[in-house]
Amino acid sequence: MASVLGFVNVFKAAGPSSAQTVARIRGIYGVHSGDRHIGAGHLGTLDPQAAGVLPVAIGKATRLIPLLTDQRKAYAGMLHLGRATTTQDALGETVAEAEVPEDWGRRLQDAISQFVGRIEQTPPMFSAVHHDGRRLYELAREGRSVERRSRSATVYSITVIGIEERAARLRVTCGEGTYVRTLFADLGAVMGIPAHMGALVREASGPFVLSESLTLDEIAGNPSAAIIPPENIIPFPTIVLDLRGAVDFRAGRVVALPGGAPAKHVFVRDESRTLVGVGETHGALLAPRKVFA
């Protein structure tokens, strides 16, 4: 049985949901490791019609997800003007249509300035947000619409990278939990023009970037090569414990810290260089924070 612990930078194609993609990854590594119950979890949902970077934690690396502090996302997407939809993307039913005025480019630049920084967004009905124990998209498919609380989001930048007839290609960098579909629809509302989001590609998610992502077929062809060690993703230094220290650490006991404390939090490996957990330094002592048995 091959032990698997790390991250995979998956290129999700347009069409499958994030959950379906993770299920496929879990199947690949279940066969690879001989553990059909192996854990897997993504680091932020990507809409089914969107493509791009979908980072997935494999094995006990799922326990490291809370330690990922870089949650910045980057997207490139099409803003289509003249039509608003129920889903805020091209797949929804039309709810409003209008002619696109000739000065829409100027209106767009004026609107962009209002959406950079801390903003408020109302989650779309076609989203995975819970309402009374059910997902909003489940209610939306039944034709229901419920009141939703607005949420804060951070947009670091919006850049126009291309202009077409009645459409603009935008690059957006934003924080965790930002609804790009809603951002595009809200831009149109401020412009006074019905709008929706077209094609969307996530170019980066924290330290995971599009140029380094792998398709499902590429990952299935060489699962070992696709695994990224946690140290390459989370900027903690690594220390190595001797046999006795590693045994005590795995048992949840505080151990002596070999050498000085390189940082507040460290990855801990044993003499065989197997990752045994994450420790927190306290002077000359090392306390287990997360232990991988």
Catalytic residues: 47
**How many CB atoms are located within 10 Å of the residue 285 CB?**
13
Three-state SS letters, 56-121: EEEHHHHHHHHHCCCCCEEEEEEEEECEEECCCECCCCEEEECCCCCCHHHHHHHHHHHHCEEEEE
Structure tokens at 203: 């170019």
Classify 234 as helix, strand or coil: coil
3-state secondary structure of 25: helix
Other Cβ atoms closer than 10 A to 131: 17
- The closest of 223, 232, 162, 252 to 198, measured between CA atoms, is 162
**CA distance from start to end of the chain:** 15
d(CA 54, CA 129): 19
- β-strand partners of 195: 81
